[in-house]
């Protein structure tokens, strides 16, 4: 076991954060648990809808989306560097 590398080991600073790795939200109060579950379900619906839309995309649409995302990232980097 000692010779097995851990490739995707999370950063120790991340694992020390409160609620890290808890996907069932049992450590939260009931109201916050319900809100977290709502957000999780809404996120799942958005992802499913986006996947359904992308299922019919052409290669040109994929490349256009790739360019749009690259431009958006470049804009964010410029804003970050300007700050």
pLDDT at 57: 93
Within 10 angstroms of residue 64's Cβ, the number of other Cβ atoms is 12
Hey, where are the domains in the chain?
12-82
List alpha helices for 1-83, DSSP H. Answer: 12-15, 30-54, 59-82
pLDDT reading at 7 higher than 60: no
pTM of the model: 0.51
pLDDT at 15: 63
Residue with the bigger pLDDT between 60 and 7: it is 60
| Model pLDDT for residues 18-77, shown as the tens digit of each residue | 666 666 677 778 898 899 889 989 999 999 999 999 999 999 999 999 999 999 999 999
pLDDT at 45: 95
């Amino acid at each position: 076991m000692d010779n097995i590398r851990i490739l995707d080991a999370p950063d120790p600073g991340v694992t020390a954060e409160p609620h890290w790795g808890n996907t069932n939200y049992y450590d939260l109060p009931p109201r916050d648990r319900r809100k977290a579950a709502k957000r999780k379900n809404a996120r799942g619906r958005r992802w499913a809808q986006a996947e359904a839309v992308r299922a019919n995309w052409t290669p040109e649409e994929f490349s256009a989306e790739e360019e749009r995302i690259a431009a958006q990232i470049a804009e964010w980097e410029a804003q970050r560097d300007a700050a």
